[in-house]
Structure 1
Amino acid sequence: MSYGPDPQAIHPVPAHQRIVFLKALIHDPKIEIGDYTYYDDPENALLFAERNVLHHYDFLGDRLRIGRFCAIATGARFIMNGANHAMTGFSTFPFNIFGRGWDEGFDIGTITAGLRGDTVIGNDVWIGAEAVILPGVTIGDGAVIGAFSVVARDVAPYAIVAGNPAVERRRRFPPETIERLLRVAWWNWPIERITQNLAAIRGADIDALERAA
């Protein structure tokens, strides 16, 4: 019996090379990607780490963590802490990067003072085209990020956010249903159980999903 696509396949839909499973593609230790999370881009799908994860520098140590079963649309970008400029003095100009004497006396603490930590995307998150996720944001399981949104604050599980800055428009389900969904956490099931219970996962009957758990 087949249990879905190989999570290690880079192109899980061979007829559509624009779709890539990111876990198999990315080998940067600063980026963690869960199984079955994919990126869809007709031109640059294979360059996700280079084109979509920006200002991600080893010396700062921040990580991008994305869960399982996420769908990331064309052009979505993750701005990491390396984009920050010093905010502790009068000027935000990065004199030190140009060297030639301008690096003398530079204090890295003026940069690290503004770090916002890791960027964490939950499981089963849908990120729309050209959305921008700013440093240190946490997006909860099951959330939806509208196309062209700029996400500067944490997003609750199963929230739908949109705009610049992104604001919550509504929750996908009532609070009690969201609590039950987070307890079920179907994305953590073995893939065999997920495959056998796709009707419940794709459906809208939380009782059926709980029975499958």
Structure 2
Amino acid sequence: MNQPLFNHWSEVKYLKDIVTNPLIEVGDYSYYSGYYGNQNFEDGCVRYLWGDFKSQKLFNPIEQYGWHLDKLIIGNYVCIASGVVILMGGNHNHHSEWATVYPFVEQLEQSYEPKGDTVIKSDAWIGMNAMIMPGVTIGEGAIIAAGSVVSKDVPPYTIVGGNPAKEIKKRFTDSEIIKLMEMRWFDWNRKMIERAVPLLSSSSIDKLYNFYNSEVKKK
């Protein structure tokens, strides 16, 4: 019997501790909470991306075919819930404009088309069972509702949901979002962030902005 990947729903794994795929870039303190899906991040949550341990042993499309493979780029303090699927570019050999969408082996080398990097920027929260389609960029502080299918870019500090995912609301006013984008708290050093935790865990963007101007910006 295989040992479970997670022991309890409250357990998280920091991506920097578990990611080995050279095509996945991960920032600090971003985590995967995969208990209910019980899937490996690199070969379960992330799908169709060459570079995990198993696919590296099978083939190398970069050396064999000369493909330019898309990357998955994840910022700092990103929260990824159980059941999330991040679709990547390893199966982009299906052409709707061809007579058949079937990926004949003889045409694999010629048929591959990159979709562009998938980017999940800092402080985003990807809800349970959401699906992120290839080539999408999810902005800073965005929230993806559970079960959503994200096929288009999501602006910073925006909540989206549904299939296809559509904007539900902005998390803050436009002026507050401008301040948050200027502050970029998730790029501060860890000690400064720890000092600001009470402000980060509140709704007062103005108080956080005052802290930023007095304690961060001046350094």
TM-score of the two chains, using structure 1 as the length reference: 0.83
Residue 85 of structure 2: aligned partner: 77
- Separation of aligned partners in 1, 2:97 and 2:50: 21
Residues 126-179 of structure 1 show CA distances to partners (whole Å, capped at 9, x for unaligned) of: 110000000000000000000010000000000100000000111001111101
Match of 1:94 among 103, 107, 121: 103
Opposite residue 77 of structure 1, the aligned amino acid is V
Residue 42 of structure 1: aligned partner: 35
Identity %: 36
Residue 193 of structure 2: aligned partner: 194
1:30 aligns with 2:17: no
Root-mean-square deviation over aligned CA pairs? 2.1
User: 3-state DSSP class of the match of 1:61?
Assistant: coil
- Separation of aligned partners in 1, 2:43 and 2:96: 27
Conserved 8 A contact 1:119-1:136: yes
Conserved 8 A contact 1:144-1:161: yes
Residue 158 of structure 2: aligned partner: 159
- Separation of aligned partners in 2, 1:107 and 1:166: 31
1:65 aligns with 2:73: yes
Conserved 8 A contact 1:88-1:110: no
Residues 14-64 of structure 1 show CA distances to partners (whole Å, capped at 9, x for unaligned) of: 987731111111111100111111111225667111111111125341100
Show structure 2 runs of 5+ residues with no match. 1-6, 52-60, 62-67, 213-219
TM-score of the two chains, using structure 2 as the length reference: 0.81
- Separation of aligned partners in 2, 1:146 and 1:16: 18
Alpha carbons of structure 1 residues 16 and 93: separation in structure 2 relative to 1, 3 Å: closer
Corresponding residue pairs, total: 191
- Separation of aligned partners in 1, 2:198 and 2:96: 51
- Separation of aligned partners in 2, 1:76 and 1:46: 10
Conserved 8 A contact 2:9-2:36: no
Opposite residue 145 of structure 1, the aligned amino acid is I
- Separation of aligned partners in 1, 2:38 and 2:176: 35
Deviation, 1:111, is 2.3
Residue 111 of structure 2: aligned partner: 110
1:134 aligns with 2:133: yes
Conserved 8 A contact 1:131-1:149: yes
Residue 5 of structure 1: aligned partner: none
Residue 6 of structure 1: aligned partner: none
Match of 2:12 among 11, 19, 35: 19
- Separation of aligned partners in 1, 2:76 and 2:46: 18
- Separation of aligned partners in 2, 1:124 and 1:133: 16
Conserved 8 A contact 2:8-2:35: no
User: 3-state DSSP class of the match of 1:197?
Assistant: helix
